[in-house]
Amino acid sequence: MKVAVYSQYYPEKPLKSFEDLIDVLHKNQVSIHIEASFFNELNDGIKQNPAVKKFTELDNSYNLLISVGGDGTILRAITYVRDLSIPIVGINTGRLGFLATIQTDDIEVAITHILNGNYKTSERTLLSVETNPGNEDLKVTNFALNEIAVSRKNTTSMITVETHLNDEYLTSYWADGLIVATPTGSTGYSLSCGGPVITPEANSFVLTPIAPHNLNARPLVIPDDTTIQLRVDGREDQHLMSLDSRIVTLSNATLITIKKANFKVKMVELLDESFIDTLRKKMLWGEDKRN
């Protein structure tokens, strides 16, 4: 089996979980390939291990990608997986962990189950974006798993986000910005701005305004085959657009077109896991003893 491992290096971040993972993979005689920039920061003991190699790109020969970090690390890992349909699993060394569901105490048991094929996959919808005029930063990576958001730049003033759905005018949000989230992203930025939780299987997106001036501006759930067009106006000549954790600067004359991407990613789940179970645990539902 050929496994890719992705993580991000921080000097203050302990590597024990990563080292535990490498031990489990080595014990199971897996071909281990670590993302190059992270590999170069590792100690010589790991780099000189003949079973460990590094990668800069992925291809169809990989059977699995394991992310070590939080949900943000998985979002970055997906830029390597793209449309290759390589299953992805996350070891959670971050905080909340809706995507990275394997806890550090369960690494050996969980990874062994996965290597033996004892898992299921959840297919997740992504968003794609095009701009007119085009943007060089979007030519390589123009998709997002969680959300695409537009927001103000270099100003404390709100922006106006003129919004069309399938060429029909919806409204102009007067706000700090607007989030277009997938079901996967509904538990992220959108949720923190008052958006609803959407189960991964739902064929829906949600539009969630960020701190709207008009208090009657509420999140809107729409079918995921909707074409969304946005145009921003404001006191500044430019605004920001984020694709998960990646940010580009656009001029206010830019027409932004957002659609469902033409591929999905596969998230690995253990057989005894479910989104409902994860949601209940992460949201602390049931902690009130009256329930």
Q: Could you give the angle at the alpha carbon of 276 between the alpha carbons of 8 and 107, nearest 5°?
A: 40
Do 111 and 233 sit in the same domain of this protein? Answer: no
β-bridge partners, 160? 174, 233
Q: Which domain holds residue 243?
A: 126-262
Q: Which of 71, 94, 117 is the endpoint of a domain?
A: 117
Last residue of a domain, one of 87, 117, 147: 117
The answer as to whether 269 is a domain residue is no
Residues written for the chain:
291
Same domain (yes/no): 111, 162? no
pLDDT of residue 222: 98
Total number of domains constituting the chain: 2
**Going by DSSP bridges, is the β-strand pair 228-233/255-270 parallel, antiparallel, or unpaired?**
antiparallel
Instruction: Please indicate, yes or no, whether residues 138 and 254 belong to a single structural domain of this protein.
Output: yes
- State the average pLDDT over residues 170-186: 97
CA distances from 243 to 87, 112, 130, 151 (A): 21, 33, 12, 12
- DSSP H helical ranges for the chain: 16-27, 36-39, 44-47, 71-81, 107-115, 189-192, 275-282
CATH of the domain at 9: 3.40.50.10330
* pLDDT number for residue 51: 81
**Choice among 44, 71, 83, 277 that is catalytic:** 71
Asked if pLDDT for residue 273 goes beyond 70, the answer is: yes
195 assigned to some structural domain: yes
Query: 37 with 98, same domain?
Result: yes
162 and 235 housed in the same domain: yes
Q: What is the CATH number of the domain that holds 140?
A: 2.60.200.30
Active site residue 106: no
Would you say residue 139 lies in a domain? yes
The verdict on residue 275 lying in a domain is no
Are 253 and 139 found together in one domain?
A: yes
Asked if residue 271 belongs to a domain, the reply is no
Q: For residue 202, what pLDDT band results from cuts at 50, 70 and 90? A: very high
Residues 6, 26, single domain; the answer is: yes
pLDDT, position 281: 84
Give 93-143 pLDDT, tens digit per residue: 877 778 988 999 999 999 999 999 999 999 999 999 999 999 888 988 999
Are residues 143 and 69 part of one domain? Answer: no
Say if residues 4 and 65 touch (Cβ distance below 8 Å).
yes
**Half-sphere exposure (Cβ direction) of 88: Cα atoms closer than 13 Å:** 32
CA atoms within 13 A on the CB side of 129: 33
Most confident of 48-52, 153-157, 242-246: 242-246
Question: Is the pLDDT at 218 greater than 70, yes or no?
Answer: yes
Same domain, 101 and 227: no
Q: Is residue 153 part of a domain?
A: yes
Single residue among 88, 117, 146 that ends a domain in this structure? 117
Residues 104 and 232 in one domain: no
142 and 256 belong to one structural domain: yes
In a shared domain, residues 42 and 65: yes
Look at residue 209 and tell me whether its pLDDT is greater than 90.
Answer: yes
CA dihedral 199, 59, 73, 139 (to 10 degrees): -90
Does 14 score more than 80 pLDDT?
Answer: no
Strands (E), 201-272: 204-210, 220-223, 228-233, 238-243, 246-251, 255-270
* Distance from C-alpha of 15 to C-alpha of 139, rounded to nearest angstrom: 34
Cα(172)–Cα(24) distance, integer angstroms: 53
Within a domain: 291: no
170 pLDDT band, cuts 50/70/90, is very high
| Residue 289 maps to a domain | no
Residue 244 has pLDDT above 70, yes or no: yes
Q: Which residues contact 178 (CB under 8 A, 6 or more apart)?
A: 149, 150, 161, 163, 207, 208, 209, 210, 230
- The mean predicted confidence, pLDDT, of the chain is 92
Q: Is the pLDDT of residue 291 over 70?
A: no
Angle subtended by helix axes 107-115 and 16-27, to nearest 10: 40
Query: Above 70 in pLDDT, residue 214?
Result: yes
Mean pLDDT of 28-44: 91
